Amino acid sequence: MLYTEIPTQRPVTPLLDGIDHPQQLRQLEQGLLPQVADELRQYILYAAGQSGGHFGANLGVVELTVALHYCFNTPQDRLVWDVGHQAYPHKVLTGRRDRITTIRAKDGLAAFPAREESEFDTFGVGHSSTAISAGLGMALARRYQKAPCDVVAIVGDGAMTAGMAFEAMNDAVAHDADLIVVLNDNDMSISCSTGGFAKHLAAIWETGQLVNVNEQGEAYVQPHPKWTYNSRLHQSATDAADNLFKAIGFDYFGPFDGHDVEQLVQVFHALKKRKGPRLVHVYTKKGKGFAPAEADPITYHAITKIAPVACAPAKTSSSKAAPKYSDVFGQWLCDEAAQDDRLLAITPAMCEGSGMVQFAQQYPERFFDVAIAEQHAVTLAAGMACEGLKPVVAIYSTFLQRGYDQLIHDVALQNLDVTFGIDRAGLVGEDGPTHAGAYDYAYMRTVPNMVIMAPKDENECRQMLHTAYHYKGPTAVRYPRGVGTGVEIQQQMTALEIGKAEIVAEFNQDADQQISILAFGSRVAASVDAAAQFANQYAVGVRVVNMRFVKPLDEQIIRELAEKTDLFVTVEEHAVMAGAGSAVNEFLAQARIVKPILNLGLPDAFLHQATHPQMLADCGLDSQGILASIQKAWF
């Protein structure tokens, strides 16, 4: 069925209510599976409205998920979900139906598959393109243990653009591994799929050479299916000489209608009788069954909690809201590009999330979406910089981790002029530990030639991006997810002095005892609030320094403040270990300045999901937490 509204009351789902374990699903007659799928889709619609979260991808894999759990003996057989955006139906069918509305909430279900949550979650995910490697590892391990089982890796066409996926496929063939890869092709990652691989999938579809399997597991060519898939707008490639997957060494089957649950059951039952590396190509529609999501899958990639009957976007307040940091970046990118035609912009499949839509429309010849290929994105920028251009790489902190070798070897070692706009730095709330940007200070500040900045607000973010762009060498501006503080953004762009901090607040300056708070990035405002409260309660001087630069550190201001400081406090939304506070500690030790110092930041642990304010409070990084820590250290 096609739905147009998200239900606000729990739908009636008699078959689904009887499934607390996939074994109960497998006891149903095959003819009931379409009803199970319809009930599951209704329930996912309802649950997503209650909790928010990933949306379109989950609706697109309902039938596929039902068929997989019906045909394979999970959890003894292994299902490995890539990324995990699409795992909500899997969670519902594996004993977590009544908790699915808690997904992404504090103490609720994780946003992605998590091994500690369920034995059915065979591999913890969140980042793209890991499933084939992990599944191959499981298959080879079970072969070694002489306890083979079916292993199925479910991978999207977007995730297949990453080199890691092809490295794993190549190795699977080398080992003749008993591995099934399900290629869930919806012509999307988060944005539309791009590049040669997307064209190749279209060519497979357009040739009409579909390979199926009979009940004995024997392959045969079948006629083109009756259903249509028409989202691809590029030129037909019916003269494709071969099938890429077959050329690698996989047995290829498909493409199949990923919403025909009974056909999928037939295919999977037959494939279980074959051995070796096998790939099943299925076409699905992102947002399937919900009309608004089918029409606009990018907007409905993920949703927030929805009010009753909330098909339309919520109305915004009449007062002007603070912009998102990603929008600040996007506007700066357009403004800087208007002044310098050497600027080129690169994103690894995060155009919308990084605020680059306007730039892509305004400067299409200067915009490069390289798909899910973070390593390539960084080295691509390095190559552009070698030719005298000024590339800007827009990337999330958690995803730049995947391009770390390229950051060191290809950019920093050659001291190339590349600017990194690092979004989603610090805690990211409901997306949990897989997406937290908790380590970028640590992994960047150890790299020679890097300049690293962290803005206290959205105006400073704009000025820092301008500063980074005009600095000759590798630079990074690290900013948080979500909206800014609401300060006025100056359109005039002015470069900051490299490595220069500023004192932003001073209280009780004449007091005999003094505390200096060295705050980095997003924690400046909370530090000022905590300082004001502390100074109001006690006859102690407190000053707050907006450090601005993690590297180079403003050593001069620290040295000057040390003469009149009885306690240093560093505050950052980053892991304490090896973070900005550690950089301050290192300088004080090298300068032989002996002062008490309190380092506040994220603990040495992976933090489970909650709202961003809840997580900050739990870590003691909101104003009250900072105040409490200073009080404890002082008294």
**Residue 255: strand, helix, or coil:** strand
DSSP state of 123: S
| Cis, peptide link before residue 255, omega less than 30° from 0 | yes
Q: Determine the Cα–Cα distance for residues 222 and 231; give it in Å rounded to an integer.
A: 23
Q: Determine the Cα–Cα distance for residues 606 and 603; give it in Å rounded to an integer.
A: 8
Cα distances (Å, whole numbers) of residue 581 to 57, 368, 438: 40, 36, 13
**Residue 633: strand, helix, or coil:** helix
Q: Which amino acid is located at 310 in the chain?
A: A
- Which residue of the set 402, 424, 462, 551 is catalytic? 402
286 catalytic per annotation? yes
H or E stretch covering 420: strand 419-423
DSSP state of 500: -
Helix 33-51, helix 62-71: angle, nearest 10: 120
Q: Determine the Cα–Cα distance for residues 342 and 353; give it in Å rounded to an integer.
A: 24
**Residue 251: strand, helix, or coil:** strand
Q: Which amino acid is located at 33 in the chain?
A: L
497 catalytic per annotation? no
The CA-CA-CA angle for residues 132, 179, 152, to 5°, reads 70
3-state secondary structure 447-489: CCCCEEECCCCHHHHHHHHHHHHHCCCCEEEECCCCECCCCCC
- Which residue of the set 39, 63, 374, 573 is catalytic? 374
User: Long-range CB contacts (< 8 A, 24+ apart) of 31-37?
Assistant: 31/262, 33/66, 33/67, 33/70, 33/261, 33/262, 33/265, 34/261, 34/262, 36/66, 37/62, 37/63, 37/66, 37/261
Which of 152, 84, 168, 159 has the alpha carbon at shortest distance from 129?
159
Q: How many CB atoms lie within 10 A of CB 591?
A: 12
Q: Determine the Cα–Cα distance for residues 418 and 474; give it in Å rounded to an integer.
A: 5
374 catalytic per annotation? yes
**Residue 493: strand, helix, or coil:** coil
- Which residue of the set 286, 288, 478, 551 is catalytic? 286
User: Long-range CB contacts (< 8 A, 24+ apart) of 589-594?
Assistant: 591/555, 591/559, 593/558, 593/559, 593/562
Which of 557, 558, 503, 556 has the alpha carbon at shortest distance from 531?
503
Cα distances (Å, whole numbers) of residue 25 to 4, 51, 73: 28, 25, 11
Residue with tokens 């994105």: 377
CB of 579 closer than 8 Å to CB of 553: no
Question: Exposure of 245 by Cβ count < 10 A (0-12 exposed, 13-18 middle, 19+ buried)?
Answer: buried
Q: Which residues are catalytic?
A: 286, 374, 402
